[in-house]
Amino acid sequence: MASTAHFNKADSQKAPPLPLLPADNEESELTTLLKVYLKPKDIQKIWLAYRFSDEAHHGQSRRSGEPYIVHPVEVACTLARLHLDAPTILAALLHDVVEDTTITSKEIEKKFGKQVSELVDGLSKLDKIELQDATEAQAENFRKMLLAMANDVRVILVKLADRLHNMQTLEVLSPEKQKRIAQETHDIYAPIANRLGLNTIYQELEDLSFKYLYPMRYRAIQQAMKASRGNRREVVAKITVAIQQKLIEMKISAEVTGREKNTYSVYKKMSEKGMSFSQINDIYAFRVIVKEECDTYLALGALHALYKPLPGKIKDYIAIPKANGYQSLHSSLFGPFGTPIEVQIRSEKMHELAEAGVAAHWLYKTKDANLTELQQQTHQWLKRLLEIQSDSPDSLEFLEHLKVDLFPDEVYVFTPKGKILTLPKGSTAVDFAYAVHSDVGNCCVAAKYNQELVPLRAEVNHGDRIEIITAPLAKPNPAWLNFVITGKARSHIRQYLKSIKSEESSRLGAGMLNQALKALHINPSSIKESHWKKLISDYGLKNKEDILAEIGLGKRMNVMVANQLVGFMEGSGHLKGQQKQLNVITIKGSESMAIQLASCCHPIPGDPILGFINKDRGLVVHTHDCSAIRKFKLDPEKWLDVEWDPNPDRLFKVNLQIMVLNERGMLAKISSVIAESDSNIDNVNVEESDGGHFVNVNFIVQVHNRIHLAELIRNLRKINNISRINRVKMKNF
C-alpha cells in the first residue's frame, strides 16, 4: 500500500509511514495521528476494532494484492487527520465489514456500541444505492439523496474518506472502471466535499478525477508545473519576504506563505478562461493568515500600499462568504516588475474552516465538547450557511437539502428505471404514483418497495426503488385523500371526485325533474330528443346531463324546467293520456356529494323528511319538525318531497343530549353501552358544569334508523344516575 498511496502526490516530498497499527509496539501512522487528540482508552478500542476488522476480512485482498485491512486503515487515517471522534474512526475501520464479511451489524453493536453500528449501517446503506448514467440534474439529486440518507454528517465524512482512498488506489483497475469511478467522483463526491467546505479532500478528489478522466492533459500540466518550479521558488521567496516586512512595519502579526495551485485548478482556469499555461503559471499566489478578523482588512491595506492593486479585482468573501461558508479577502496586485500576484487574506479561524469545512468543529473542538454539542455546532454552521446564502438561489437550494440530514423533510426515491424523484417526507405510494404521471396515479392498485408488496398508504423512504402496479379500469379512491400529502395527488383525486359529483348531481336532477313532471302528469320517457335539444340550446349548455346536474345542484328549478319541456310538448301535440306513477327522490345515505343531511336536525331513516334546494350545496335534507325550517323563507318551489330508501347503506348521525350525575366513570359507562348497542360515537361534548350534581353531555352517535335509536335510548336508560335523554334537532356543535 505504501507504494500506491502516494503515487500521485507529486507535491508531497516525504513518503508516509506504514499506515498499519503496530503489531508489537511499532509506531504506525494511524496511532501517531490518534495520539495527538484521543485518550489511550479510545486508542485501545480502535486497536481492537483494527484486529476485529483484519480478522473479518481475512483472506480478502485488494485488487493491488495487499491485504484488505490496508484500505480501512487508510480511510481511518484521513479522518484522524481531521481529528474526528473515536466512533468515526471505529466506523472507518469497520466500514466494509458488514457488507463484505459474515459479521452482522448486531455483532458490531455488541462489541463497539450502538453509535458505531449505526454509522456502519449508514455507510452500507449508501453503498447500496447506485446511480446509472448521471445527467447533471440527476447528479444533483443523487448528491442530495446521499446527504439526506446520511442522517449523521459523520457518515458522509467516512464515505468521502473511503472514496478518497479508492481514488488514490485507482491505478490497479481497468481503464474503463477508472473512467467510470473518476467520473462519479467528479460528478457526485467532489461537489459534496466542496459544498461541505472540506477543501483538502475536495482538491485531491478533483485532481485524481482529472488524472483518470484526462490522463494526457494531466501529465502535460504536471510536467510543465514541475519544469517551472525552480524559477518560481526564487520569485516566491523574494515576494514573501517583502510582504512579511511590510506587515511587521504595520505591526500586523501574520503568517505568509507562497502557494502552488493544484493540477486540476490550473486546467480549469485554462479551459474556463481560455488562458495559456504560462499565463496562469506566471501568476504568483500568496496566503496571509492573521490572528483576528479585524486584522484582515488592515493587512489588505498594507499589501495595497506595497503593491498596486488591479482595479476591480478585490473580492470580499468575509462580508459575503461563498456558498460553502468560505471566508477570505482576495486581491490581485502588480508585484515587482509587474509580476501578477494573487493574495488571500484570512484569519486563523477562517483558515480552519476553509481547509476542513464541516469537519473543522471536530478538528478544533474544545477539550470537553461532547457529541451533542458538536452536532449542534455543525448544525449551527449549516444554518449560518443557509442564512448567508439566502440570496443565491442555487446554493440556497442545495443547502436547504443539506439541512435534510439534520431535520429531514424531503425523501429521495428511485423509479423502476433508476430516475430519482424528490417527494415531501411522509409521502405514500399514491403520492409517488401521481408524481410519476397522473395516469399512473389514477390507475394504481398496488405498490412494491424494493420488490416487496406494500399497501398504497405505506410511507416512502430514502433510496426506495418503487414500482406501481396499475390496472386499466382502476379508479381513484376517495379514501386516498386521508393519506396522500402532495398537492398533485390531492388535486387529481379531487378532480376525479368532482366528475363523479356531477354524475351524481345529474342523477339527482333527473329525480327532481321527474317529480316536477309527475306533478304535471307527464311521463318523462315521452319527452322527445328534439325537446331536449331545444332546451339545451336555450340554456347554452352542452348536453342533457348538464341540465340535470344544474337541477341537482339547485342552479335551476325543476318546476321551471318541467314547465318549459311541457311547453315544447304541447306545441308539438305530444301530450295525450300519459299519467304514469313516478318515484319521489329516495335518500340512501351515500349521496353525500349532492345530497346532504342537515347538521341541525340530523335526520335518520324513519324520520319524516323534507328536501331543501340550496344553491351551493345541492339538496339538503331536514326532518319535518326541524326548527331550522321555520327560518327559511316560505318558498314552496325550493322544497321537495323526499323519502328514505328502504335499505340505506350506512349509519346516520344523530344528536343526543344526556343529563347525568357528575361522577367519575360515567362517560366510560355511557360509551360502553353505546358500543354494546352497535352504535358509534362521532363526537362528545360536555357542557360547562355550573357546580351542580348533574351535567349535560352532548353525543353525536351513529345509528341505522329510528328503531335502532329507540333501542339505544332504552339501553342507556338502564344506566343508573342518568336523569334525562333527549334527541336534539336544533343544536349544532
Minimal distance in Å, beta carbon 158 to Mn ion?
A: 9
For residue 270, which amino acid is it? M
Distance CA 466, CA 606 (A): 50
Residue in the block written with cell 516586512: 245
Query: 3-state DSSP call for residue 69?
Result: coil
Query: Minimum distance from CB of 405 to Mn ion (Å)?
Result: 21
Phi, psi of 109 (to 5 degrees): -65, -45
Q: Which stretch binds Mn ion (CB under 5 A): 104-112, 115-123, 161-169, 201-209?
A: 161-169
What torsion, rounded to 10 degrees, do the Cα atoms 416, 133, 425, 394 define? Answer: -150
In this chain, which stretch among 19-27, 159-167, 342-350, 526-534 interacts with Mn ion, using CB under 5 A?
A: 159-167
Q: How far apart are CA 207 and CA 201, in angstroms?
A: 10
Binding to Mn ion by residue 74, rule CB under 5 A? no
Is the Cα torsion angle 183, 186, 190, 195 positive or negative in sign?
negative
State the residue for C-alpha cell 318531497. 641
- CB environment 121-146: b (16+ within 10 A), e (fewer): bbbebbeebebeebeeebbbbbbbbb
**Which H helix or E strand runs over 334?**
strand 329-334
Q: Which stretch binds Mn ion (CB under 5 A): 89-97, 415-423, 689-697, 705-713?
A: 89-97
Q: Which stretch binds Mn ion (CB under 5 A): 154-162, 230-238, 381-389, 720-728?
A: 154-162
Which has the closest alpha carbon to 716: 637, 630, 656?
656
Minimum distance, C-beta of residue 353 to Mn ion, in the bound complex (Å):
27
Nearer to Mn ion, 160 or 356 (CB): 160
Instruction: Judge whether 99 counts as a catalytic residue.
Output: yes
Report the residue number, 166 or 281, with the smaller CB distance to Mn ion: 166
**All cell numbers assigned to 707:** 328503531
| Candidates 42, 66, 100, 410; catalytic one | 100
* Residue whose beta carbon is closest to Mn ion: 162
Secondary structure in 3-state letters for 336-367: HHHCEEEEEEEEHHHHHHHHHHHHHHHHCCCC
Q: Which three cell numbers stand for residue 720?
A: 343508573
CB of 361 to Mn ion, least distance (A): 25
Q: Which is nearer to Mn ion, 112 or 307 (CB)?
A: 112
Give the contacts of 136 (CB within 8 A, at least 6 positions apart): none
CA angle 28/203/196 to nearest 5° reads 95
Between CA 99 and CA 116 the distance in angstroms is 15
Place of cell 424494493: 450
Comparison of 1 and 626: residue with beta carbon closer to Mn ion:
1
Contact set for Mn ion, span 308-367 (CB under 5 A): none
C-alpha–C-alpha distance, residues 501 and 506, integer Å: 9
Smallest distance from Mn ion to CB 45, Å: 21
Q: Please identify, using beta-carbon distances, which residue of 118 and 162 lies nearer to Mn ion.
A: 162
100 is catalytic: yes
Question: Residue 96 or 607: which CB sits closer to Mn ion?
Answer: 96
Q: Which stretch binds Mn ion (CB under 5 A): 90-98, 293-301, 477-485, 665-673?
A: 90-98
Site size toward Mn ion (CB under 5 A) is 2
Q: Is 152 or 431 the residue whose CB approaches Mn ion more closely?
A: 152
Q: What are phi and psi of 139, to 5 degrees?
A: -60, -45
Site pattern 94..123 for Mn ion (x: CB under 5 A):
--x---------------------------
Instruction: Pick the closer one to Mn ion by CB: 65 or 274.
Output: 65
Cβ at position 71, least distance to Mn ion in Å: 6
Q: Which of the ranges 88-96, 112-120, 256-264, 518-526 carries the binding residues for Mn ion, by CB under 5 A?
A: 88-96
User: Given the DSSP bridges, would you call strands 639-644 and 585-587 parallel, antiparallel or unpaired?
Assistant: parallel
Is 207 an interacting residue with respect to Mn ion (CB under 5 A)?
A: no
Which of residues 96 and 207 has its CB atom nearest to Mn ion in the complex? 96
**Span interacting with Mn ion, options 157-165, 413-421, 430-438, 536-544, rule CB under 5 A:** 157-165
For Mn ion, the binding residues in 530-549 under the rule CB under 5 A are none
Helix (H/G/I), strand (E/B), else coil: 112: helix
Task: Kindly tell me which of 54 and 162 has the beta carbon lying closer to Mn ion.
Answer: 162
Q: Residue 96 CB, nearest distance to Mn ion (Å)?
A: 5
CB closer to Mn ion out of 62 and 669: 62
Say which amino acid occupies 213.
L
Task: Choose between 45 and 71: whose C-beta lies nearer to Mn ion.
Answer: 71
Alpha helix (H) ranges present in 554-634? 558-571, 627-631
DSSP class of residue 222 equals H
Beta carbon of residue 178, minimum distance to Mn ion (angstroms, whole number): 17
- Least separation in angstroms between residue 127's CB and Mn ion is 8
Return d(Cα 445, Cα 470) in angstroms, integer: 5
Of 11, 26, 27, 99, the catalytic one is: 99
Under the binding rule (CB under 5 A), the answer on residue 162 touching Mn ion is yes
Q: Which of 517, 524, 672, 645 is nearest to 591 (CA)?
A: 645
User: Residue 184 CB, nearest distance to Mn ion (Å)?
Assistant: 14
Residue 613 β-bridge partners: 619
Could you tell me the three cell numbers for 690?
Answer: 355550573
Shortest approach of Mn ion to residue 197 CB, angstroms? 23
**Is the C-alpha dihedral spanning 432, 438, 441, 443 positive or negative?**
negative
In the chain, the amino acid numbered 411 is V
Least distance CB 273 / Mn ion (angstroms): 37
Question: For residue 8, what are the CA distances in angstroms to 70, 80, 194, 267, 371?
Answer: 18, 21, 21, 16, 36
Which of these segments, 93-101, 152-160, 171-179, 359-367, binds Mn ion (CB under 5 A)? 93-101
* Residue 108, H or E segment: helix 105-112
Contacts of 312 (CB under 8 A, 6+ apart): none
Measure the CA–CA gap between 598 and 625, rounded to whole angstroms: 12
- Looking up cell 457529541, which residue turns up? 371
Catalytic residues: 99-100
Give residues in contact with Mn ion (CB under 5 A): 96, 162
